[in-house]
Structure 1
Amino acid sequence: MRRLGGVLAAAVLCGTAAACTNAPPPPLVPKSEAPVITTTGPKVTEIVVGVDDVAGGYNPHALAAQSPITTALSSLLLPSPFRPGNDGAPQLDRNLMVSAKVTKAEPFTVTYTIRKDASWSDSAPIAAEDFYYLWQRMRAEPGVVDPAGYRLVNNVSSREGGKVVEVVFGKPFPGWRSLFSNLLPAHLLKDAPGTWSNVLATGFPATAGPFQVRSLDEPRGEVVLERSDRYWETPTTLDRVVIRRATHSAMAESLSKGDNQAALLRADAADVNLLKGIEKLTTKPVPRNEVVQVLLRPASERLADVKTRKAVVAALDREALIASGTQSGPSASFRADSYVVPPSRAGYVRTINGNTLDAAASEQLLTEAGYSKAGTEWQKAGKALKLRIAAPEKSEPYVSIANRIKVQLKERGIDSEVVTPSAEDLFSTQLTEKDVDIAVVPRVDAGDTAAALASEFGCAGNVPDGATPSPQNAAGFCDPAIQADVEAALNGKVLVSDVLARVEPLIAAQAVSVPLFQVVDLLGVLPTVSGVDTGAPLAGVLSGAPEWRRLDK
């Protein structure tokens, strides 16, 4: 108001002065418009990928956080000493490492040398503390992916300013290359408030790769990755990769219009046909690193007896569960007929034959276990057999299969209820206790078969200092008859293929697990881009994003 008043006063004074002078008025200046200059910034080159979901968490080491988006983001944003090659075998990532090799046989020691220019996006060096932090968490936390290898490590030490890391094992571990993938920024996490469940729960506090996070908007369903100016190696060709949530019909429409250049979705038969109708679209199956399995937990009081577990397995129609879970989509071609090795992996051998359903055997086994039929239900000591079936909340196909199991058991006179706790609560708490009888959960493949065998079916080892005692595996299963073989495979004393041939029939006899199928997504790609492919095994589609190119811009 003061400025406006001053302007008005000046105008009045000028008008008065002009009226009192004989000076001619100033000449009229013709009115002209300044030319309009239009400027445009540099054209942004991006590829948009449609996906089913972008919801977190994003910790690739937590069973609760397993998803295509977690695999995609970790492959681009987190450093790994080794990455899977096209054949699935681990290859040294020379963008991060100078070398990594066994330097001592007794005790078994691996020495990692990290590039001096390798750093996190906040300029902190990638160093030994990142190895140490991951080792500590993987050996102590429940609900992590393949902890068996980490539990063999006795010490992690450093020299040369943390750029040389020495990892000392208590026993030999031929699968050591599978360890320390997706390192986490220890300098930001080790003293952060909260627990392991908070790690990467909503985003990435620091990254170390060719891309960085520009925005991660869960409510909108969009993640925007942009070229990282802090990356020490060759920059990416693309400026951005946009990962966008959409329904399957919306994905198809965006592909048809060219708004999206690719889509990655969990498809059923209808979705396969939907994408077939898009001109020039190429589709390929992309196996995830997860197998859908039904765990019958010996840790549960109701299923502690092997005869009861066998009776429940005989009450299940495995063929129907596979059919309902795959919905004639790409997963239907990846039946999981092995207890340990996923169908897409080298070394997969079919060891499960035929269906599990055998109503007569189920009744006989329940009778032998001390149950008797009372009307339409089975009872023992006057108490009905009622099982609790758990699946991670809002996670498909797990919840749907859990409900189908409930229906199948009801047909055989076995009562049950389905609970769907959060994935974090299920894997970190409920599967370390006794209340859950049956769990419909993923078996996650981290790359080493011996470690997978030990993590899924091995007995609990020594509890690290400060760790919460928990079962070695989600089923709470331990069979001394196979433990020696499990350890021999883990330590490289016996070929893992020979061990599997011996122990898989024993695992089947214990009725602990009913594998169903490997989850397989469908990738659709337009010819306007190059390099967008299925990616190396375990790495996911976006692992190749640094080499992606737009051909129409």
Structure 2
Amino acid sequence: MAAAVVAALVMLTACSNTPPPPVVGTVPPVPSASAAKPGEIVVGVDSIAGGYNPHVLADQSTITTALSTMLLPSVFRTAPDGSPQLDRTLMVSADVTRTEPYTVTYRLRGDAAWSDGAPIAAEDFLYLREQMRDEPGGVDSAGYRLITDIKSEESGKVVQVTFAAPYPGWRSLFTSLLPAHLLKDAPGGWDQVLESTFPATAGPFSIKQLDAPRGEIVLERNERYWERPAVADRVILRRADPAGLSDALRTGHDQLVVARTDAGGVAMLQALGDKVTVKAAPRPAVVSLFLRPAGTDLADDRVRTALVNLLDRDEVIRVGTGGGPSVRADALVLAPSQAGYGPTGPLAHDPAAAQSLLTQAGYSLVSGVWTREGRPLVVTLGAPADKEPYVLVAKEVQRQLVAAGVQVKLVTPAGDQLMRSSGTEAGPNILIAPRPVGDSPAAVMASVYGCPVRSTDATQAPPGNLAGFCDQSLQPTIDAALNGSMALAEAIGIVEPRLWRQAVAVPLFQSADSVAARAELSTGDLTAPLNAPFASAVSWQRKQN
């Protein structure tokens, strides 16, 4: 799931449900300064950097959400009220058909197919489940690890999925299905999936051009899509800086802006007045700090707690959000945008408590540096190089800890490399990374804080969570929330206080984009949870003047 910047122009023209396959070639670039043409909607964004795999933490971004929402098929999609809703453009039905063993039967539409003519079928379900079960750094992988069997019937259009235990959150699975027939044997494996483009699509839009150096992605209506066609002929995602985004919106070159903004960027958009409507759309990620409870120093929870107490979290959040629409987060499972959210943490900036804890752990402050037995306290702090605001946050954390006497080595590899190394001996002690926000909070809790689950292959080490954390005494409660035998709120009430005391994670803020739309653009809900604002792209329309 490499998050790499595309170095070459790639164009993929989506094809029909019947062969021949898509044609790959080059397309003359659209001048970035030109006004939108009739039937064309231009969306200003702050980045189009890849990768674009929605199932891996390293690729989480606004552009990944945009492309997966418009190009990939999903069994369920999140409704404006936050509930999962069956996507009937792909599905006939999806129901629990047996309770022992717990089985869900999925019936896919017979006409649903990838752009190269291959049917969307059981092999796509199987491929996604295998990757989410076996590969590290997945988003909400716990639900997939409950699956014990997937059977195909009726030429793959009926899929029987069996679980090891009841799983009320099953509707959160099998979103953004991937074309297994093209990816299962692709060079580079899971790390390279959707790194720079999409080998096939199955939605109302298809990719005509992806030009990362120029900062532009052109999507066209998929004329051979089997369902209701998109209203717009073309949607263009075009990168610009805050001033450029505001200017393009003002002049009508852009009809919509979806971008990470600081206070200055928000002010520029709001200054456009009645020309635009400006709102905030929460992203499905909470920027968080994870402390790995292992190694010479951080295995001691007194040291981890001391490091947390040394941080001025308010200042870290201020630097990370820049005064933009992102919202402070004070809980370890639920995000501010989710129902039932409330602050749960006892966090405080307390240098005196930190000094006491480090002293108890055997450290002394010598010439401004915390040392033990002649060795300085050194931590390695990791953040993905290719996705902001993580490096920005990491630099502020580094500055504060160094000022407090802790030596910090900052590493910023590509996101996929960082996530793959997290929780391993070679990985960083402290990680700045996204905590996913999903339709199944119990699955998020299990994926982020649960112990590794070994697969049927005893020779394969199970992937761990971001912090390499496992508390066996908490696992029964996490499992009970996952299988529905304990209410989520009750489980959170047991798990979160223990997690706070062990200082393995510190939430910072839920990322959010500024969404600014010109008055002539007719859209659906632009701030719906998890996939805003692109869930309504199929119906976007420019009003005639």
After TM superposition, the score normalised by the length of structure 1 is 0.90
Paired with 2:294 and 2:84, the residues of 1 have a C-alpha distance of 35
User: Partner of 2:381 in structure 1?
Assistant: 389
Cα distance per residue 1:505-541 (max 9 Å; x no partner)? 1110000011011011101100111015424311121
2:68 to 74, 83, 86: 74
Counterpart of 2:68, as a letter, is: S
Indicate the SS of the match to 1:117. coil
Q: What SS does the aligned partner of 1:273 have?
A: helix
Q: In structure 2, what is the equivalent of residue 12 of structure 1?
A: none
Aligned to 1:71, the other structure's residue is in SS state helix
- Asked if 1:129 corresponds to 2:123, the answer is yes
Q: Which one of 73, 88, 91 corresponds to residue 85 of structure 2?
A: 91
Counterpart Cα distance in 2 of 1:432 and 1:266: 31
CA separation in 2, counterparts of 1:447 and 1:75? 15
Q: 1:283 to 1:467 in 2, by over 3 A?
A: farther
Map 1:379-458 → 2, pairs under 5 A:
379-458=371-450
Shift of 1:231: 0.8
SS of aligned partner of 2:168: coil
Distance 1:414 1:495 in 2: 41
Match of 1:348 among 323, 336, 341: 341
Q: How big is the shift at 1:281?
A: 1.0
* Counterpart secondary structure, 1:432: coil
Could you list the runs of 4 or more consecutive aligned residues of structure 1 that deviate by over 3 angstroms after TM superposition?
430-435
Q: Highest Rg: 1 or 2? A: 1
Call closer, same or farther: CA 1:318–1:494 in 2, change over 3 Å: same
Taking the TM superposition and a 5 Å limit, the aligned residue runs for 1:498-509 are 498-509=490-501
Q: Which moved more, 1:66-75 or 1:342-351?
A: 342-351
Counterpart check, 1:336 vs 2:357: no
Partner Cα distance (1:235, 1:84) in 2: 20
Q: Please list the CA deviations of residues 129-183 of structure 1 after superposition, one character each: whole Å capped at 9, or x if unmatched.
A: 0000000110000111111000000011111000000001111111000011100
Moved more, 523-532 or 534-543: 534-543
- The answer on whether the counterparts of 2:134 and 2:463 sit within 8 Å (CA) in structure 1 is no
Larger CA deviation: 466-475 vs 257-266: 466-475
Separation in 2, partners of 1:447, 1:378:
43
> C-alpha distance in 2, partners of 1:394/1:187?
29
Q: Deviations over 1:277-311 (max 9, x none)?
A: 21421100010001011111113442111111111
The question of whether the paired residues in 2 share the 8 Å contact of 1:141 and 1:467 is answered with: no
Give the letter for the 1:348 counterpart.
Answer: Y
Whether contact under 8 Å (2:418, 2:427) holds in the other structure is no
Q: Distance in 1 between matches of 2:423 and 2:460?
A: 13
For 1:67, the aligned partner's letter is S
Query: Following the alignment from structure 1 to structure 2, what is the Cα–Cα distance between the partners of residues 99 and 456?
Result: 30
- Other structure's SS at 2:479 match: helix
Deviation at 1:407?
Answer: 1.5
- The one-letter code matched in structure 2 to 1:309 is R
Contact 1:174 1:492 (C-alpha < 8 Å) held by counterparts? yes
More off after superposition, 403-412 vs 285-294: 403-412
In 2, the alpha carbon distance for the partners of 1:120 and 1:529 equals 30
Q: Match of 2:97?
A: 103
The code of the aligned residue for 1:407 comes to: R
Within 5 A, what are the aligned runs for 1:291-306? 291-306=286-301
Contact 1:46–1:239 (CA under 8 A) maintained in structure 2: yes
In 1, Cα distance between equivalents of 2:42 and 2:152 = 41
Q: How does 1:111-126 map to 2 (within 5 A)?
A: 111-126=105-120
Q: 3-state DSSP class of the match of 2:452?
A: coil
Task: Find out whether 1:316 has 2:308 as its counterpart.
Answer: no
Hey, what does 1:9 align to over in structure 2? none
- Please tell me whether residue 168 in structure 1 is matched to residue 134 in structure 2: no
- For 1:349-388, list aligned pairs within 5 A: 349-353=342-346, 355-388=347-380
> Is 1:289 matched up with 2:281?
no
Distance 1:292 1:106 in 2: 39
Contact 1:146 1:455 in 2 (8 A): yes
Q: Which residue of 2 aligns with 1:547?
A: 539
Instruction: State the one-letter code of the partner of 1:324.
Output: V
Contact 2:423/2:464 (CA < 8 Å) preserved in 1? no
* TM-score of the pair, normalised by structure 2: 0.91
AA partner of residue 108 (structure 2):
I
5+ residue gaps, structure 1, are 1-42
Match of 2:246 among 246, 249, 252: 252
Q: Displacement, 1:210?
A: 0.7
Answer whether contact 1:140 1:464 (CA < 8 A) is retained. Answer: no
Secondary structure of 2:478's counterpart equals helix
Q: Secondary structure at the match of 1:302?
A: helix
Identity score, percent? 50
229-238 vs 92-101, which moves further = 229-238
Alignment CA distance shift 1:315-1:471 (3 Å): farther
Over the aligned positions, Cα root-mean-square deviation in angstroms equals: 1.4
Does residue 179 (structure 1) correspond to residue 179 (structure 2)? The answer is: no
Task: Give the number of equivalent residue pairs.
Answer: 508
Mapped to 2, the partners of 1:54 and 1:80 lie a distance apart of 22
Could you list the runs of 5+ residues in structure 2 that have no partner in the other structure?
A: 1-36
- Give distance in 1, aligned partners of 2:366 and 2:423: 31
Spell out, residue by residue over 1:300-356, the C-alpha distance to the aligned partner (whole angstroms, 9 max, x if none).
44211111111111111111111111121111xx21011011100112122125x52
Cross-structure match for 2:268: 274
Give, as a single letter, the amino acid of the residue that structure 1 aligns with 2:244: A
C-alpha distance in 2 between matches for 1:74 and 1:452: 20
The one of 190, 212, 222 equivalent to 1:218 is 212
| Residues 466, 126 of structure 1: alpha-carbon distance in 2 compared, 3 angstrom cutoff | farther
**1: CA distance, partners of 2:71 / 2:91:** 16
CA drift of 1:224 comes to: 0.8
CA spacing shift, 1:47–1:466, aligned 2, 3 Å: farther
Could you list the per-position Cα deviations for residues 371-429 of structure 1 after superposition, in whole angstroms to 9, with x for gaps in the alignment?
12222111112111111111100432211111111121122211112110110100012
- Partner of 1:149: helix, strand, or coil? helix
Q: Determine the structure 2 residue equivalent to 1:38.
A: none
Match of 1:536 in 2: 528
CA distance in 2, matches of 1:191, 1:496: 39
Letter of the 1:57 partner, please give it: G
2:162 counterpart letter in structure 1: V
1:148 aligns with 142
Write the letter of the residue equivalent to 1:400: L
Which one of 146, 153, 173 corresponds to residue 159 of structure 1?
Answer: 153
Contact kept in structure 2, 1:263 and 1:523, CA below 8 Å:
yes
Give the 3 Å change call, closer, same or farther, for CA 313–435 of structure 1 in structure 2: same
The letter of the residue matching 2:348 is T
Letter in 2 for 1:291: V
Does 1:487 find its partner at 2:479? yes
Distance 1:220 1:307, change over 3 A: same
What residue identity is the alignment partner of 1:327?
Answer: G
